[in-house]
Structure 1
Amino acid sequence: MATILDSVDQRTKLVGENRLELLIFQMHTGQLFAINVFKVKEVVKLPKLNRLPGSHPHITGVANIRGASIPVIDLRQAIGMRGDQQEGECNIIITEYNRSVQAFLVGQVMNIVNLTWADIQPPPKQVGKNNYLTAITKVPRDGMDRLVSIIDVEKVLAEIVDYDIQISNGVLDNTIINHFVGKKVLIVDDSSTARAQIRDTLSQLGLEVIEASDGLKALTLLKGWCDSGKSVHDEIMMMFTDAEMPEMDGYKLTYEIRNDPRMNDLFIALNTSLSGSFNEAMVEKVGCDRFISKFQPDLLVEVVQDRLRTILSHCK
């Protein structure tokens, strides 16, 4: 099964072209699920697991993969589906999110599909706020279009690992803290969990937060300000954007901003759970100002403080 991902390293050219590849799998139902290939390190048959007494109930055990101990999360249980997953074909999808490695127990892993972000749509509002989806799409299978649910892995992980929004002692610069009051930042992310983490961290500084759930909504907002004669810099001091989002990803969003002379100098920080080395190359390619991994409150604060210092220095 691992061979399905042998060419992942060659697929990076898709990102930046508003394209993505999804790994499609099932969880012992007819329903199709997916996660982005760029989060996936490997797919293997379910090995023997070592149980950990007292661990989170969604962690079904720990797998030893080539000497590395990797926690295995029962994805079906984690997203609230009923039934026993360890019947029939079982695989684990080993992933890297936010600088940590974990595996997800699933059923049959089927194939990889190549799509554009325009093919990816937000989940219907009728599913409610407590769903575990970032998006949905359709793929051809068995002569018909089949619905695919794209898992909000960040929400799943946040319910197992409590992401801290506390700012460490010594991080805040008290000489500039009062200058944050009244200033705004734009957060662009399809995960409500990720948006909440940034919002709750930055609100401690007195910053106001504007949110957009995908790159297209953010670009529409920014262009709307420009079209009405407003300066983007009067509206926000900077933007944080995720990489992967429905309709328009963060790389394409940055590209569009950099090619609009009305806002091409907007400060943009790429805030993503994708691997650092990959994103550092993409940041340089599309022109982001900073790259930071998600769920690091101290680093978030340092980035906005650096940006504020630059703004204040230009005002002198």
Structure 2
Amino acid sequence: MSKLLSSVDQRTQLVGENRLELLTFRLAGRQLFALNVFKIQEVVQVPALTAVPHSHPVICGVTHLRDQTISVIDLSAAIGGPPLQGRENCNLIVTEYNRSVQAFLVGAVDRIVNLNWELILPPPKGTGRSNYLTAITQLDDDIVEILDVERVLADIIPYETDVSDDVLDDNLVDEAINRNITLLMVDDSTTAMQQAKDTLANIGVKMVYQQDGLKGLSYLKQLAAEGGDINDKLLMVITDAEMPEMDGYRLTHEIRQDPLLKDLHVILHTSLSGNFNEAMVKKVGCDDFLSKFQPDLLAKTVQNHIRKRLEEGSL
């Protein structure tokens, strides 16, 4: 299985081309699920697990891998399904999200597939697991459900949205409220969106929300077509990296190619690793990137840009 995940450098080239690779797997039944390969460190057969008293019900223990102790989450139970049985036939998908490493207990691992983001679609409303899906796609005759790991983790360890007193600048908060300062947030995870919205409320900044890169680009073009400087209408764009139909890297590229949008301040807001994003930020022209979920850092970054624009007289 490790060979499936060996060519990270090669896969890095896919991201700027609006492509991704998914690892598909099953849980307790025949339904196929998927995670983005870039979030995965390795896939291993289930080692010995140590139970942790009083832990969350979906945490089935901890294990020691590569010199670190990792919590193991029963992914089937975490999304409302039955707990996985017969662990000797199960696998662990070891992932890194939001600067933390965790392992997900899954059933059979299927394969890695290379797809265009245009083939990744928002999940239909009203499905039983819709709260835990960011997208769906189709492989052969099978529907593949792409899981919102941020939502899964938020159910286990709720994210903080309070901003520290030493980060808050009361003068900038007043300026933001008085000037009705607004930014655009583009993210397919409703969990990430709500976290950012609640954090920004602490600093008086309003947020417009679009659920994927294509919708975000359409909104920006419509706003620009109404006339006036786009920077007078939006403070900045904060975009996730991975989204259905158009990812954040492609969105940034399209913004930079549009004469009416090219001067927008764009920040990549992602749970992917820092080193990877530093390279991609330079490649597609983002102004900066932020790792999820760090309310103080998000608030500080937005306030710094407000301060900069006030000093320039562009607000």
TM-score for the superposition, normalised by structure 1: 0.96
Q: Distance in 2 between matches of 1:85 and 1:294?
A: 33
Give the structure 2 partner of residue 156 of structure 1. Answer: 152
Q: CA deviation at 1:83?
A: 4.7
- Number of matched residues? 312
- Which 4+ residue blocks in structure 1 deviate beyond 6 angstroms? none
Instruction: Label 1:233 to 1:128 Cα distance change in 2 as closer, same or farther (>3 A).
Output: farther
What is the aligned-residue RMSD (CA, Å)?
1.4
Q: Distance in 2 between matches of 1:177 and 1:169?
A: 12
Structure 1 residues 67-216: aligned runs within 5 Å: 67-86=67-86, 89-127=89-127, 131-140=131-140, 145-181=141-177, 182-216=180-214
Q: CA deviation at 1:172?
A: 1.0
Q: Distance in 2 between matches of 1:50 and 1:87?
A: 13
Q: 2:226 matched to 1:233?
A: no
Between stretches 165-174 and 93-102, larger displacement belongs to 165-174
SS at match of 2:202: helix
Give the structure 2 partner of residue 24 of structure 1. Answer: 24
Q: CA deviation at 1:128?
A: 6.9
Q: CA deviation at 1:210?
A: 0.2
TM-score for the superposition, normalised by structure 2: 0.96
Q: Distance in 1 between matches of 2:83 and 2:162?
A: 37
Q: Distance in 1 between matches of 2:189 and 2:71?
A: 23
Q: Distance in 2 between matches of 1:152 and 1:85?
A: 23
Identity %: 55
For structure 2, the 5+ residue unaligned runs are none
Q: C-alpha offsets along residues 149-206 of structure 1, whole Å, 9 cap, x if unaligned?
A: 0000000000111110111121012232211111101110000000000000001222
Q: CA deviation at 1:303?
A: 0.8
Q: C-alpha offsets along residues 89-110 of structure 1, whole Å, 9 cap, x if unaligned?
A: 2000000000000000000111
Q: Distance in 2 between matches of 1:172 and 1:83?
A: 43
Match of 2:169, as an amino acid? D
Instruction: Label 1:267 to 1:129 Cα distance change in 2 as closer, same or farther (>3 A).
Output: farther
Q: Distance in 1 between matches of 2:28 and 2:80?
A: 14
- Which of 269, 291, 294 is the equivalent residue of 2:292? 294
Give the structure 1 partner of residue 36 of structure 2. Answer: 36
Instruction: Label 1:84 to 1:95 Cα distance change in 2 as closer, same or farther (>3 A).
Output: closer
Q: Distance in 1 between matches of 2:170 and 2:11?
A: 45
Give the structure 2 partner of residue 2 of structure 1. Answer: 2
SS at match of 1:92: strand
Q: CA deviation at 1:229?
A: 1.8
Q: Distance in 2 between matches of 1:3 and 1:173?
A: 50
- Which of 240, 243, 261 is the equivalent residue of 1:242? 240
Q: Distance in 2 between matches of 1:67 and 1:205?
A: 40
Matched-pair contact (CA < 8 Å) for 2:182–2:234: yes
Give the structure 1 partner of residue 259 of structure 2. Answer: 261
SS at match of 2:297: helix
